Amino acid sequence: MDRLRIAVAGCGVAARAHTNRLARRRDVRIVALADPDLQAAQRLAEGLIGAGPGVEAEGPTVFGDHVSMLRAVHPDALAVFTPHLHHFRVALDGLLAGCHVFVEKPLCTNVQEATDLVNVARARDRILAVGHQYRLRPTLKQAKQRLAEGRIGRPRLAVGLLAQPWLAAHAGGEDSWRFDPRIAGSGILTDSGDHLLDTLLWVLGTPALEATAIQDRLDSGLDVVTAAAVKLAPNLPATLAVSGVSAGSLFELTILGETGALRVSETLLQERLGDQPFQTIAEEVSGSAGDGPDFQVSQVAGDSIDDDFVEAARGRRFPSCPGDQALGTVKLLEAIARSAATGRPVAIA
């Protein structure tokens, strides 16, 4: 394969950030863009002209739907940046057309569809990768490694917190898909909170077994605050708090082990051994540059989630978040929402 020919479905904010990174690669060609809003696709195509070696001089070809695009272009890979509800259909069509597929998070809005995608990708021997880019943060990678090395002993409790002025940031866009639970799946829990859920499961290397939750919701049913108790492995509970009505942003995970503790964010890793004070292990002083208003976590240069996908599609590595692992996050998302709706603990199969 000379160049990985990538097609894109969904040409909004996320697509702009991802395609600008992909355009910098010499081994990629962004061949086509599809969006039912043709003007959005055209704007993105024009913006990509001259963005880098990954785009031809005339820019990508534009389509009004992903099915015609797949039929006309036969890409090697499809990147899906649509609203959540459409992830399943578009990604499935991509896999059935023989593409490796990158899907922005969440993989799907429900467990059944996420399971189907994972099974189809496996049966067709295609890469299915999901946009949980926190996994690429050096601080979180180191936290995972230190836990695996047993530096803080057996983990006994995890505490996760994600807060953003999510509602305020999207104010004025109440008619957009993010405010429609049928399209978004849920509110902040799915839109940003799934990064916290994914990070928790990935750092600890365990699936979730049960969730109990309460949520504060808007009249439309959209959650803006979630407090959840999650059973991970036997004897490993976690508490998770997600707020979309916070004045500022926070992302923190604390893991208490039998002989020490780890405290980690996107930019800081601290470790405590025994009853000693916390020591800083890693700190990213530059902070997170971001790639736009919705991208509050930057990627480290040369190792973006897009580079990760391209390397995986070219057979050089496993994707940092393969579909089967993202399925675990969808299961936890669904269990939390169901528990909040029923007031009962929900077991996760």
Ligand X SMILES: NC(=O)c1ccc[n+]([C@@H]2O[C@H](COP(=O)([O-])OP(=O)(O)OC[C@H]3O[C@@H](n4cnc5c(N)ncnc54)[C@H](O)[C@@H]3O)[C@@H](O)[C@H]2O)c1
Q: Which parts of this chain interact with ligand X (CB under 6 A)?
A: 9-15, 34-37, 40, 66, 81-84, 86, 90, 104-105, 131, 133, 191, 294-295
Q: In angstroms, give the least distance from the CB of 195 to ligand X.
A: 7
Name beta bridge partners: 194.
Answer: none
Q: In angstroms, give the least distance from the CB of 58 to ligand X.
A: 22
Which amino acid makes up residue 307?
Answer: D
Q: In angstroms, give the least distance from the CB of 138 to ligand X.
A: 17
Which of 104/271 has CB closer to ligand X?
104
Q: What SS3 string covers 55-90?
A: CCCCCCEEECCHHHHHHHHCCCEEEECCCHHHHHHH
The dihedral through the CA atoms of 179, 181, 191, 30 has a sign that is: negative
| Rounded Cα gap, residues 242 and 228, in angstroms | 9
Structure tokens given for 346: 């929900």
Which of 40/229 has CB closer to ligand X?
40
Q: In angstroms, give the least distance from the CB of 150 to ligand X.
A: 31
Which of 84/141 has CB closer to ligand X?
84
Q: In angstroms, give the least distance from the CB of 172 to ligand X.
A: 14
Which of 54/187 has CB closer to ligand X?
187
Which of 90/111 has CB closer to ligand X?
90
Q: In angstroms, give the least distance from the CB of 191 to ligand X.
A: 6
| Stretch (H or E) spanning 32 | strand 28-34
Which of 210/294 has CB closer to ligand X?
294
Which of 131/257 has CB closer to ligand X?
131
CA distance to 63, 158, 244, per residue, from 190 (Å): 28, 20, 11
Q: In angstroms, give the least distance from the CB of 143 to ligand X.
A: 19
Residue closest to ligand X (Cβ): 12
Contact (Cβ atoms closer than 8 angstroms) between residue 112 and residue 141: no
Which amino acid makes up residue 254?
Answer: T
> How many C-beta neighbours within 10 Å does residue 98 have?
15
Residue corresponding to tokens 């990678």 = 141
Contact (Cβ atoms closer than 8 angstroms) between residue 134 and residue 266: yes
How many residues are listed for the chain in this entry? 349
Which of 104/308 has CB closer to ligand X?
104
Structure tokens given for 95: 């896999």
Q: In angstroms, give the least distance from the CB of 322 to ligand X.
A: 16
Name beta bridge partners: 237.
Answer: 231
